[in-house]
Structure 1
Amino acid sequence: MIRQAVTLPPSWANAQIGPVVTDSREVTPGSLFVALTGERTDGHRFLADVVTRGAAAALVSPEKLTALASNLDTVARPWRLIEPAQAQTLATVPPDACLLIAVDDPLFALQRVAVYHRQMFTPTVIGITGSVGKTSTKEVVAAVCSRRLRTLKSQRSFNSEVTLPATLLGLTADHQVAVLEMGMWAAGEIRFLATLARPQIGIVTNVGPSHLERLGSIEAIANAKAELPESLPADGWCILNADDHRVAAMASRTAARVLTYGYAPNADVRLLDVVSHGLYGIELTVGYEGQSHRLTTPLIGRHHAYTALAAIAAGLVLGLDWDAIAEGLREPGEQLRLRIVPGQHGTTIIDDTYNAAPLSTIAALQVLAETKGRRIAVLGEMLELGAASVEGHQQVGAAAATMADVLVAVGRQAHTMAEAARSAGMPAEQILVCDNNEAAINLLNRYIQPGDHLLIKGSRGVQMETIVAALQATTRNDTGEIA
């Protein structure tokens, strides 16, 4: 089929379209909506709402419109279906109309547009992957870069074949650096994301059992993460965690120059010392090229020393001075993985409900261990561990026995965690088992006391944030303090 260009009238020549969204609820005036077909729903069903909300345009599949978007005829705002396969003019289309642009595959079209847009600019692109810590690392790397360089970063955890192209479309000529998170659902996905973004710098944080259920083995996960180092150019940089032997081995799988970080004596950016100040952050001493540097960050938990080291390494390969790096670490932006919120009855909640794996849960327990008062670990199921599920929950239960005063185990693997905690020496009366989140809420409402610290953590799919919402302080007393 010969595709012909759509002729734009002068009134459309300078039209601004963006941001790109795939959720109709996030459409704002001027947005580009991409109507995706998923397992549970189809974006074409919501086109009437998209037009009403003010989207400038939408990428649509024409064969879906009749079946799924028949209610478009009831929308008051004008819209037009544009088919690039035919010669068309927009001269008669009102400037305030929504353009429904017909494409064979909306997702593929979005990716092609993102590739074209990426090629128009020359920022240094930093890709970040790993089993845990991608989003926190992305935030801190972007904070360091933005001290001296105009920086674009992925929003939230935009790290997929859908959301990474949307981030790329936010690039402008002003951006000097783009910091992009790269996740994976299957082997080959990170390599595909790298073809879209063309990173010159790659960071691999670690390799763990997350996604083991889908990929089958730790080795398969390591191979999938290694797709980022393998995609880097020879004049680029590969930044690797020297303390994770699977990550360190990726040095042999990249053409790029390698910079390592960690505790290991052979690490290029070496952690010499870390001091935790509990919920007030950490202080670390870092050695590089024969000199040591003392830095502080409000990131909570000793495990975030790795987050800071990765950001330091990124700053160094970009040529930033240590003052800029220190400034970025002191103001690391959003800490999406862990929040400190006031709880009911004078308690403090450590909200780490975004996701969970054995490594990140044990790290969160270490944060809880450094708090005062009674320490309560409210732990839900860790999903996608496959054959390692029982062992992973046993590891977490045993760790809770040494770092918490009380374990509240929630969900299908609660008994596995509870038995491991009991075997590790935690008294039976300090181990509480709940079948679901509602039962945990009811129990904790009766159980918590002033001064308690509660760590609440579980995989995204088990929605532990509902427990946080139920226990969070929402009222203020006469003095204006949260109660």
Structure 2
Amino acid sequence: MKVNQYLPSWLLGIRMRKSVKEIAAILESNSTSMEEVVQTAIDSGEVEKDSLFFALKGERVDGHQFLEEVAKKGGVAAVVSKAYQGKDFGLELIRVDDVNRALHFLAKEMFKETKGTVIGVTGTVGKTTTKEFLATVLGERFRVMKSEASLNSQVGLPLTILNGDLSAEVIVLEMGMSEKGELKRLVDIVHPHIGILTKLTLVHGNPLEEIAEEKCQLFTSKRMERAFLNEQTASFEPVQNLTIPKEWFDKAPGPFTESHLLEAVGAAVAIARYLGMTEKEIERGVQKLKPFDHRFEKIEKKGALFIDDSYNASPEAVKTALSNLPKGKRRIALLGAMKELGPFEVNSHREVAEHALPLVDHLLCVGKECLPMVDVFEKGGKPVELFHEKAEVASRLKELVQKEDVVLIKGSNSLKLWTLLEGV
């Protein structure tokens, strides 16, 4: 079962150690089992010995169908719907009205045991990089727990809590949203003391002011002390209306030249100073920073430099990546379609192409949404090729790229464009 393909099996830290009976009591259910739970999962493929499994019902699969696999892999219990009438396969079943709400509630109750400073990171561009940089720098003084990978969703954040080290001195949590109200639900679980707002760009087809309003829900936490905000967000009314103390961050010196990475350094440095770290500690932490997976990673292959920035794409993020491309014999951009832009789709792709035109020598596009980009490059007299499937572009990329070329690979996460590097 793959409800959440990004759920890792390597969440580190002191794992939850409560009995099935204790967990059932928290969830207002019944159990007499004193078996100890040390790990929580919603993906049967990630179940380990002594796991508690939440049988979530997704759009395509139902977790209740995988209880037998959970049992075979050493799971001890499963949180299931009261409506489930199937076999238990030897698992202790904790029956609840709503499995997803139970996941949230258990995470919220467990998180009450934390004593550390909680930092929430949101925005539409740069959340994960900012979170990773912050955790690295703060790690020079504090014992830090952080969200792994991009576990920032309605499922990912609760799992981070249930599988993480809640005794940490500082807890850095990435917090995302795709629909109205989702960020507020995450805030109500963890109640951050400090909030970070990175850049805001078009996403999910929503107007920017609406996105700003939703993202600013982070600062409604009852424990919020201070907001750290990217300077780009200053013009948004919801940001201007914040009544808590505000501190602005922008680029700060670091082991990079790319502007968006330096903005993440700026956020990390600002918060490190706020938490009382010395300049020497901060400098040591900054020297350890490196780009996170598929976020402007530089990879040399056969004499060419590939920039793997393929984790995700929004108009602002693509333009930023293009503006930060190193020099090379030729600059080639392999851009996948930007998804979830709704009514802004056509104009956004056109704007990105207009930005790319003076910066790129050859453009490869993947996805029908890229037609406006093709139009801009054809009118501008520069080579452009459109591919409707990722597989089609793999061979073309291999034959096109030459020594000393610089190749940017960027597109929506669903395209998984990073896999194209395997065949180059």
Pairwise TM-score range, normalised by the shorter structure: 0.7 to 0.9
How large is the RMSD of aligned CA atoms in angstroms?
2.2
Q: Which ranges of structure 2 fall in alignment gaps of 5 or more residues?
A: 1-24
1:238 to 223, 227, 235: 227
2:58 to 23, 32, 38: 38
In structure 2, the residue matched to 1:22 is: 42
Counterpart secondary structure, 1:433: strand
Contact (CA 8 Å) 2:254, 2:265: kept in 1 or not? no
Counterpart secondary structure, 1:100: strand
**TM-aligned CA deviation for residue 139 of structure 1:** 0.5
Contact (CA 8 Å) 1:377, 1:406: kept in 2 or not? yes
CA distance in 2, matches of 1:110, 1:450: 51
Deviation per residue, 1:431-471 (Å, 9 max, x gap): 22222212211322222222222111111123323323332
Aligned partner of 2:212: which letter? A
1:30-179 to structure 2, matched below 5 A, reads 30-66=50-86, 73=89, 79-80=90-91, 99-172=92-165, 174-179=167-172
Counterpart secondary structure, 2:83: helix
In structure 1, the residue matched to 2:247 is: 259
In structure 1, the residue matched to 2:214 is: 224
Aligned partner of 1:224: which letter? E
**TM-aligned CA deviation for residue 310 of structure 1:** 0.9
Deviation per residue, 1:109-132 (Å, 9 max, x gap): 111111111111211100011011
In structure 2, the residue matched to 1:266 is: none
In structure 2, the residue matched to 1:412 is: 368
Total equivalences in the alignment: 397
Contact (CA 8 Å) 2:216, 2:238: kept in 1 or not? no
**TM-aligned CA deviation for residue 173 of structure 1:** 5.5
In structure 2, the residue matched to 1:277 is: none
Contact (CA 8 Å) 2:31, 2:94: kept in 1 or not? no
Residue 252 and residue 33 in structure 1: after superposition, are their counterparts in 2 closer, same or farther (change >3 A)? same
CA distance in 1, matches of 2:210, 2:103: 29
In structure 1, the residue matched to 2:10 is: none
Counterpart secondary structure, 2:202: coil
TM-score, normalised to structure 1's length? 0.77
CA distance in 1, matches of 2:196, 2:324: 25
Aligned partner of 1:451: which letter? E
Deviation per residue, 1:47-103 (Å, 9 max, x gap): 11111112233212243352xxx5x65xxxxx24xxxxxxxxxxxxxxxxxx33222
1:313 to 258, 263, 270: 270
Deviation per residue, 1:243-283 (Å, 9 max, x gap): 333458515224x3211113xxxxxxxx5xxxxxxxxxxxx
CA distance in 1, matches of 2:403, 2:85: 57
TM-score, normalised to structure 2's length? 0.87
Counterpart secondary structure, 1:296: coil
CA distance in 1, matches of 2:283, 2:351: 35
In structure 2, the residue matched to 1:452 is: 405
1:325 to 282, 293, 317: 282
CA distance in 1, matches of 2:207, 2:245: 28
Report which of the two structures shows the higher radius of gyration computed on alpha carbons.
1
Contact (CA 8 Å) 2:200, 2:212: kept in 1 or not? yes
Aligned partner of 2:132: which letter? E
Aligned partner of 1:44: which letter? H
Q: Which ranges of structure 1 fall in alignment gaps of 5 or more residues?
A: 74-78, 81-98, 263-270, 272-283, 285-294, 472-483
Contact (CA 8 Å) 1:200, 1:237: kept in 2 or not? yes
Aligned partner of 1:226: which letter? C
CA distance in 2, matches of 1:148, 1:117: 25
Identity of aligned residues (%): 34
Residue 332 and residue 233 in structure 1: after superposition, are their counterparts in 2 closer, same or farther (change >3 A)? same
1:381 to 337, 344, 350: 337
CA distance in 1, matches of 2:159, 2:354: 42
**TM-aligned CA deviation for residue 356 of structure 1:** 0.2
CA distance in 2, matches of 1:5, 1:41: 27
Contact (CA 8 Å) 2:80, 2:94: kept in 1 or not? yes
CA distance in 2, matches of 1:322, 1:251: 30
Identify the range of structure 1 (38-47 vs 321-330) with the bigger mean alpha-carbon deviation.
Answer: 321-330
Contact (CA 8 Å) 1:34, 1:60: kept in 2 or not? yes
Counterpart secondary structure, 2:189: helix
Contact (CA 8 Å) 1:251, 1:258: kept in 2 or not? no
User: RCO greater where, 1 or 2, for CA within 8 Å and sep 6 or more?
Assistant: 2
**TM-aligned CA deviation for residue 5 of structure 1:** 4.9
Residue 226 and residue 440 in structure 1: after superposition, are their counterparts in 2 closer, same or farther (change >3 A)? same
**TM-aligned CA deviation for residue 403 of structure 1:** 1.5
Counterpart secondary structure, 2:151: coil
1:340 to 298, 307, 324: 298
